[in-house]
Structure 1
Amino acid sequence: MTTSDETKKKPLWMLIEENFLELNLQDLSGKDKEAAIQKIAGELDAAGYNVSRRGGNMLQLRWAMDEMLKVGRPLMKDLNDAIATLSLEDVADPYFATSKLIDDLGKTWKELKKSERRPDVIRIVEKTRLDLLINKAKDLPDDEGIRFLIEEKVASEVIINELGITEEKLGQVNAEIEKENAERERVETLLEAVDGKSNEEKVKHLFDNNVSENLIIEIAKVDQGVIDSVKQAMEEELKEKQRLEEEAAAQKKAEAAGPSLEEIPPDQMLDYIESIREIMEFSDVEKEIRVMCDQSSIPKSIVDIAVSDHSRLDELEKEAEG
């Protein structure tokens, strides 16, 4: 018989029933029955339960033995069998599951319905739920098992021990969850600003504020079709915006470059050429010439010729003079 600290915490009735699991009911008659009772009492005494020297405890053992022989099997067998059939869904509410378990087994085992035994059965159900949660977590990929147990409010030390992870790893996953929860709160706040708007307007507002598609679907409660429609509209809007920006940039560049050679009147051409010649007296470095010409608002079309083909500049001057 186990005598660990965990065993010592168990109630007497449960230890009695667990001992019955080791018995062969076919041999329990006459002296064999009494011998079995005395043997179990001695083991319970050794475990610190003081059964053989306390009348009430001894009577509890004898009555439990009689009830087992009457039913034809140990109570704990029925309890273990019932526990083994439970799923996570069954034990989602341990208190409800306990009530159902006691009601079902209580039809055969009246003693199980006693109020003092209910907390013990609740602990069994809660332990079963924890075992089922851990088993499910171990089957999940990557960090999903850790996340699952955190969401189910399983104690940190249990998660660390059962999943074989470090405290640092658990802290990392907790930090990620906190960050995700903060993002969800941000999205909720963003949605408040477009309350009453169409789904398309809500989605666009969230996209504009860098919210991921998954969160939009989850929190805004929209389907993928709305997401795709808004994305397409935004892409077209972006393309049009880029086109207008490119046109504006080209126009600005053209304005900065000034008129073409053909558009410059002869008198202005002569003024520009004279200014360029004065600038070139100060420097023969192309970059410096271009900077000074730009400061003097001399058209780029003339400057390009001045820094690359002096003879062509002379020709332009003659053409302008007529």
Structure 2
Amino acid sequence: MTTSNATEKRPLWLLIEENFLGLSSDELSDENRERTIQRIAGELDNTGYNVSLHGGNMLELRLAMNERCKVGRPLMKDFNEAIAALTLEDVTDPVSATAKLVRDLGEAWPKLQGSERKKDVLRIVEKTKLDLLIAKAKGLSGDEGIRLLIEEDVASEVVTNALGITGEKLAQVKAEVEKERAARARVETLLEAVADKSDEDKVRHLFSNDISEKLIIEMAGIDQGVVDGVKKAIEEELKEKQRLAEEEAARKKEEAAGPPIEEIPPDKMLEYIEAIREILEFSDVEKDIRVMCEQSAIPKALVDIAVSEPEKLDELEEKAGG
């Protein structure tokens, strides 16, 4: 949607009809009608149209006056009332709205159904839609009004002027909208891949691809209850995975720690103690000792003794037959 050009020259027929709005019955009387026509022609000359000295334009004015007097009311009264009654729902499709408006008014005002006038009416309907959108946007909170006008493809200049925002703010919201559009396009692609799957499978597929719950419900059309059920099932599965992972970690830790002292065979005990003595000669820093012992796969039980009670190594060595 684009904004109407404020400097665009208004069509002559519309200017003529607008001039008829304020005419009194006295001005429309037989004895005063010609004088009224001449006065209006002069006023129209000042709008950029040569009416008083242009035969075709003067004829258009006279025919419009005849029609006004025949119907008994100005066309613009009916037209303005019809425009004022339009709602956003009515003008969702301006072309259809224009066709209906012209059809409704055409019985009393048949010339309104002419192709040129239809184009002019369409421009007015489009401007009406824009005005209604702006009015709605101004009533929305936060950035929702800006988003509404962006979604309706309203020109940037119109948005900033109508809502009193900066170009930077508009650019920021536009970027957010584009990001959301890209996300929706991605969801559509993901849904195509599971089109023949159950709702539960679709939800799982979308969750696994980091799609938000809100977007899943909105775009997949899946009931909240189904989403909640899948979420609960996934939570249970994650808990089970965590439990198994913790068990595995504990097993590996126990395995890495090696056997307790009483389960170490004598020959291995002697081998480990010899390795520990070599490490102790290299460093007396506990952290270094533990790292080197771990690298040498020495059981943790022996390492603990080496750093806390190294004198016990002699006793263990003796028991092992060393």
Please report the TM-score for the alignment, with normalisation by the length of structure 2. Answer: 0.88
Spell out the pairing of 1:42-61 with structure 2 (5 A cutoff).
Answer: 42-61=42-61
Measure how far apart 1:96 and its partner are: 2.0
Q: Distance in 2 between matches of 1:301 and 1:95?
A: 86
In the other structure, the counterpart of 2:180 is 180
In the other structure, the counterpart of 2:93 is 93
In the other structure, the counterpart of 1:116 is 116
Measure how far apart 1:85 and its partner are: 0.4
CA contact 2:88–2:133 (8 Å) conserved in 1: yes
In the other structure, the counterpart of 1:253 is 253
In the other structure, the counterpart of 1:72 is 72
Q: Deviations over 1:136-174 (max 9, x none)?
A: 222222222222222222223322322233333333333
Change (3 A) 1:287 1:114: closer
Q: Partner amino acid for 1:51? A: V
In the other structure, the counterpart of 1:203 is 203
In the other structure, the counterpart of 1:237 is 237
Q: Partner amino acid for 1:123? A: R
Q: Distance in 1 between matches of 2:124 and 2:252?
A: 79
In the other structure, the counterpart of 1:276 is 276
Q: Deviations over 1:77-100 (max 9, x none)?
A: 111011100111112222222222
Q: Partner amino acid for 2:50? A: N
Change (3 A) 1:192 1:109: closer
CA contact 2:293–2:303 (8 Å) conserved in 1: yes
In the other structure, the counterpart of 1:29 is 29
CA contact 1:25–1:73 (8 Å) conserved in 2: no
CA contact 2:258–2:300 (8 Å) conserved in 1: yes
Q: Distance in 2 between matches of 1:177 and 1:6?
A: 29
Change (3 A) 1:294 1:122: closer
What RMSD, in angstroms, separates the aligned Cα atoms of the two structures? 2.5
In the other structure, the counterpart of 2:263 is 263
Q: Distance in 2 between matches of 1:112 and 1:278?
A: 107
Q: Distance in 1 between matches of 2:263 and 2:152?
A: 78
Q: Distance in 2 between matches of 1:133 and 1:127?
A: 10
In the other structure, the counterpart of 1:19 is 19
Spell out the pairing of 1:211-222 with structure 2 (5 A cutoff).
Answer: 211-222=211-222
In the other structure, the counterpart of 2:303 is 303
Q: Distance in 2 between matches of 1:289 and 1:161?
A: 73
Change (3 A) 1:271 1:126: closer
Q: Deviations over 1:176-207 (max 9, x none)?
A: 22222222232233233333222212211221
Change (3 A) 1:275 1:44: closer
Q: Secondary structure at the match of 2:197?
A: coil
Q: Distance in 2 between matches of 1:277 and 1:205?
A: 57
Deviates most, 108-117 or 251-260: 108-117
Q: Distance in 2 between matches of 1:60 and 1:38?
A: 13
Q: Distance in 1 between matches of 2:141 and 2:8?
A: 38
CA contact 1:94–1:122 (8 Å) conserved in 2: yes
Change (3 A) 1:192 1:116: closer
Q: Deviations over 1:46-84 (max 9, x none)?
A: 223222222333333233233323333211111101110
In the other structure, the counterpart of 1:227 is 227
Q: Distance in 2 between matches of 1:239 and 1:135?
A: 51
Query: Relative contact order (alpha carbons < 8 A, sep ≥ 6): 1 or 2 greater?
Result: 2
Q: Distance in 2 between matches of 1:29 and 1:143?
A: 56
Q: Partner amino acid for 1:146? A: I
CA contact 1:199–1:226 (8 Å) conserved in 2: yes
In the other structure, the counterpart of 1:145 is 145
Q: Partner amino acid for 2:212? A: S
Q: Deviations over 1:76-126 (max 9, x none)?
A: 111101110011111222222222222222222233233332222222212
Q: How many residues align?
A: 318
| Runs of 5+ consecutive residues of structure 2 not aligned to the other structure | none
Change (3 A) 1:162 1:290: same
Q: Partner amino acid for 2:215? A: L
CA contact 1:8–1:47 (8 Å) conserved in 2: no
CA contact 1:8–1:48 (8 Å) conserved in 2: no
Q: Partner amino acid for 1:248? A: E
Measure how far apart 1:270 and its partner are: 4.2
Deviates most, 199-208 or 67-76: 67-76
Q: Partner amino acid for 2:239? A: K
Q: Distance in 2 between matches of 1:233 and 1:218?
A: 21
Q: Deviations over 1:33-57 (max 9, x none)?
A: 3332222111112223222222333
